[in-house]
Homo-oligomer: A and B are copies of this chain.
Amino acid sequence: MAVYTDVSGEDLAAFLADYDLGDLLSLKGIAEGVENTNYMLHTQKGYFFLTLYEKRTKESDLPFFLGLMEHLAGRGLNCPQPVKNRHGAALGRLSGRAAAIVTFLEGMWPRRQTSAHCAALGEAVAALHLAGEGFALRRPNALSIDSWRPLYESAAARADSVHPGLSALIERELDWLETRWPRGLPEGVIHADLFPDNVFFLGGKLSGLIDFYFACNDSFAYDLAICINAWCFEQDASFNVTKGRAMIENYRRRRPLDAAEIEAFPVLARGAAMRFLLTRLVDWLNIPPGALVKPKDPLEYFRKLRFHQQAASIRDYGADA
Contacts and interface: CB of A to CB of B under 8 A. Distances in A.
B31 A110 contact: no
Interface stretch (A5-13, A169-177, A212-220): A5-13
A74 to B, nearest CB: 23
Contacts of A106: 25-26, 42
Contacts of A8: 110-112
Copies in the complex: 2
Interface residues of A, number: 38
A30 B27 contact: no
A108 B24 contact: yes
A96 interface: no
A264 interface: no
Interface string A1-30: 111001111101000000000011111111
A143 interface: no
Contact of A29 (B31, B42, B292): B31
A107 B26 CA distance: 5
A27 B292 contact: no
B110 A9 contact: yes
B202 A108 contact: no
A1 B26 CA distance: 17
Contacts of A105: 26
A76 interface: no
Contacts of A294: 290, 292
A104 B42 CA distance: 11
A201 interface: yes
Contacts of A24: 108, 202
B30 A29 contact: yes
Nearest to A11: B111
Given A29-B32, A31-B30, A47-B47, A111 B9 contact: yes
Given A3-B31, A29-B31, A31-B29, A23 B111 contact: no
A140 interface: no
A213 to B, nearest CB: 18
26 contacts: A1-B1, A1-B2, A1-B3, A1-B292, A3-B31, A6-B111, A7-B111, A8-B112, A9-B108, A9-B111, A10-B111, A23-B203, A25-B202, A26-B107, A26-B200, A27-B108, A28-B30, A28-B32, A29-B32, A30-B30, A40-B40, A47-B47, A290-B294, A292-B292, A292-B293, A292-B294
Given A1-B1, A1-B2, 15 more contacts: A1-B3, A6-B111, A8-B110, A9-B108, A9-B201, A25-B107, A25-B202, A26-B104, A26-B107, A26-B108, A29-B32, A30-B31, A42-B47, A42-B106, A292-B292
The 9 closest A-B pairs by CB, nearest first: A29-B31, A8-B111, A31-B31, A9-B108, A3-B31, A25-B106, A26-B106, A28-B30, A27-B108
